[in-house]
Amino acid sequence: DSGVTQTPKHLITATGQRVTLRCSPRSGDLSVYWYQQSLDQGLQFLIQYYNGEERAKGNILERFSAQQFPDLHSELNLSSLELGDSALYFCASSVADSPNSPLHFGNGTRLTVT
């Protein structure tokens, strides 16, 4: 168990809807990352927060947004969902925003858009 908790485990929703994915990082970790894993794209970085502030953005669509709260948990909001958004969404955390801090991943949320 990595200590990173993601909820829900599975989510099935229709196109056009909006969902929120939740992540609680490991105790003591300040940095939270969101990744999307789809069959054709592999693991793709979406966005990173460090101690409540956005630190880096990757291939995140404008329909997606995220935030990190004062208690360090993070939420990823996906809106106007399309079929192509179906994927496994991982949250990861690390102690610091440093190349020496390996990321520890949660078990992911599997999103299915029908």
| Beta-bridge mates of residue 93 | 32, 104
Closest CB 60 distance from other proteins, rounded Å:
12
Per-state percent for the chain, helix, strand, coil, to nearest 5: 5, 55, 45
Sort 40 into a burial class: Cβ within 10 Å, 0-12 / 13-18 / 19+: exposed
Of the pair 1, 62, the CB lying nearest other proteins is at 1
Which two structure tokens, joined as six digits, stand for 93? 């955390």
- Which of 16, 58, 84, 112 is the binder for other proteins (CB under 8 A)? 58
How many Å apart are CA 103 and CA 114, to the nearest integer? 31
Of the pair 106, 111, the CB lying nearest other proteins is at 106
How many Å apart are CA 19 and CA 14, to the nearest integer? 10
In the shown chain, the binding pattern of residues 79 to 98 toward other proteins, with x for contact by CB under 8 A and - for none, equals -----------x---x-xxx
- Which of 73, 75, 86, 103 is the binder for other proteins (CB under 8 A)? 103
- Which of 27, 70, 71, 100 is the binder for other proteins (CB under 8 A)? 100
**56: contact with other proteins by CB under 8 A:** yes
**33: contact with other proteins by CB under 8 A:** yes
**2: contact with other proteins by CB under 8 A:** yes
